[in-house]
A and B are shown apart, each in its own frame.
Chain A
Amino acid sequence: MSENLREQLSLLPAYFQGHLLLTLAAITMGILISVPLGVWAEQSARVKRPLLAIVSIIQTFPSLAILALVVALLGGRIGFLPAFIALTLYSMLPIVRNTVTGLESVSGSVIEAAKGIGMSPNQILREVKLPLAMPVIVAGIRTAVVWTVGLATLSTLVGATSFGNYIFTGIQTRNLVAVTVGSFASAGLAVSLDGLVASIQWLLEKRNEAVDSARLRRIRMSVYGAIAIIISVVLYGLMPQPRADFVVAGKPFTEQYIMAGLLAAELEEAGFSVEQRLGMGSAVVFEAIRNGTVDLYVEYTGTVWANFMSRESNPGREGIRNGVIEFLEEQNVTTIGFTGFQNRYALAMRRDRALELGVTSIEDLIPIAAELTAGSDLEFFGRTEWFRLRDLYNMDFANKLTFDVSLMYTAVAERQVDVISAYTTDGRVAAFDLLLLDDPRNALLAYDGMFLASANAAAQPEFMQAINAFIDSIPDAAMRQANRLVDVDGESINVAIEYLRGEMTKN
Chain B
Amino acid sequence: MIELKNVQKSYDGGKTLAVADTSLTIERGEFLGLIGASGCGKTTTLKMINRLEEPTSGEILVNGRNVLDQNPEQLRRNIGYVFQGIGLFPHRTVAENVEAVPRLLQWSAKDVRARCVECMAMVGLPFDEYGDRSPLQLSGGQQQRIGVARALAARPEVVLMDEPFGALDPITRSELQEEFKSIQQDMGLTVVMVTHDMTEALLLADRIAVMREGVVLQIGTPRELLNNPSHDYVRDIVAMPRQRAQRLEELMRGE
Given contacts A112-B83, A210-B132, contact A117 B104 (CB under 8 A): yes
B196 part of interface (Cβ distance < 8 Å): no
A118 part of interface (Cβ distance < 8 Å): yes
Given contacts A118-B75, A119-B73, A119-B104, contact A109 B89 (CB under 8 A): no
Of all chain B residues, which has the CB nearest A116? Answer: B81
B109 part of interface (Cβ distance < 8 Å): no
Given contacts A112-B52, A132-B91, A208-B93, contact A120 B73 (CB under 8 A): yes
Contact of A118 among B73, B83, B90 (CB under 8 A): B73
Cβ of B50 and Cβ of A123 under 8 Å apart?
A: no
Cβ of B52 and Cβ of A117 under 8 Å apart?
A: no
Residues of chain A lying within 8 A (CB to CB) of residue B84: 109
Category for how many chain A residues contact B: 10 to 19
Cβ of A113 and Cβ of B89 under 8 Å apart?
A: yes
A136 to chain B, nearest CB (A): 13
Of all chain B residues, which has the CB nearest A209? Answer: B132
B138 to chain A, nearest CB (A): 15
**Complexed CA–CA distance, A450 and B249 (Å):** 110
Given contacts A112-B52, A208-B93, contact A117 B81 (CB under 8 A): yes
- CB under 8 Å from chain A, chain B span 56-105: 72-78, 81, 83-91, 93, 100-101, 104
Given contacts A117-B150, A120-B73, contact A132 B90 (CB under 8 A): yes
How many residues of B are in contact with the other chain, CB < 8 A? 25
A200 part of interface (Cβ distance < 8 Å): no
Given contacts A117-B104, A118-B104, A210-B132, contact A128 B74 (CB under 8 A): no
Residues of chain B lying within 8 A (CB to CB) of residue A336: none
Residues of chain B lying within 8 A (CB to CB) of residue A116: 50, 52, 76, 81, 83, 87
Residues of chain B lying within 8 A (CB to CB) of residue A123: 104
A138 to chain B, nearest CB (A): 14
Residues of chain B lying within 8 A (CB to CB) of residue A120: 73
Residues of chain B lying within 8 A (CB to CB) of residue A372: none
Given contacts A117-B100, A118-B73, A118-B76, contact A109 B52 (CB under 8 A): no
Given contacts A117-B76, A120-B73, contact A109 B132 (CB under 8 A): no
Residues of chain A lying within 8 A (CB to CB) of residue B93: 208
A106 to chain B, nearest CB (A): 10
**Complexed CA–CA distance, A319 and B84 (Å):** 87
A19 to chain B, nearest CB (A): 35
Residues of chain A lying within 8 A (CB to CB) of residue B83: 109, 112-113, 116
Given contacts A123-B104, A208-B93, contact A118 B74 (CB under 8 A): yes
**Complexed CA–CA distance, A112 and B88 (Å):** 10
Residues of chain A lying within 8 A (CB to CB) of residue B73: 118-120
Of all chain B residues, which has the CB nearest A130? Answer: B91
A131 part of interface (Cβ distance < 8 Å): yes
**Complexed CA–CA distance, A115 and B76 (Å):** 8
Cβ of A109 and Cβ of B87 under 8 Å apart?
A: yes
**Complexed CA–CA distance, A479 and B82 (Å):** 85
**Complexed CA–CA distance, A116 and B52 (Å):** 7
Of all chain A residues, which has the CB nearest B104? Answer: A118
**Complexed CA–CA distance, A123 and B76 (Å):** 14
B89 to chain A, nearest CB (A): 6
Cβ of A114 and Cβ of B89 under 8 Å apart?
A: yes
Residues of chain A lying within 8 A (CB to CB) of residue B150: 117
Residues of chain B lying within 8 A (CB to CB) of residue A69: none
Residues of chain A lying within 8 A (CB to CB) of residue B86: 109, 113
Cβ of B91 and Cβ of A131 under 8 Å apart?
A: yes
Residues of chain B lying within 8 A (CB to CB) of residue A114: 87, 89
Q: Contact mask A119-137 → B, CB, 8 Å, 1/0?
A: 1100100001001100000
Q: Contact mask A196-227 → B, CB, 8 Å, 1/0?
A: 00000000000010100000000000000000
Residues of chain B lying within 8 A (CB to CB) of residue A210: 132
Contact of A117 among B85, B91, B101, B132 (CB under 8 A): B101
Residues of chain A lying within 8 A (CB to CB) of residue B104: 117-119, 123
A148 to chain B, nearest CB (A): 28
Residues of chain B lying within 8 A (CB to CB) of residue A115: 52, 76
Of all chain B residues, which has the CB nearest A121? Answer: B73
B97 to chain A, nearest CB (A): 9
Please list the residues of chain A having a beta carbon within 8 angstroms of any beta carbon in chain B. Answer: 107, 109-110, 112-120, 123, 128, 131-132, 208, 210
User: What 9 A-B pairs have minimum CB-CB distances, sorted nearest first?
Assistant: A113-B87, A109-B85, A118-B77, A118-B76, A116-B81, A118-B73, A109-B87, A131-B91, A120-B73
- Given A107-B85, A128-B89; 14 other pairs, CB 8 A cutoff: A109-B83, A110-B89, A113-B81, A113-B86, A116-B50, A116-B76, A116-B83, A116-B87, A117-B100, A117-B150, A118-B72, A118-B73, A128-B91, A210-B132
A to B CB contacts below 8 Å, 15 in the list: A109-B84, A109-B85, A109-B86, A110-B87, A112-B52, A113-B87, A113-B88, A115-B52, A116-B52, A116-B81, A116-B83, A118-B78, A120-B73, A128-B91, A208-B93
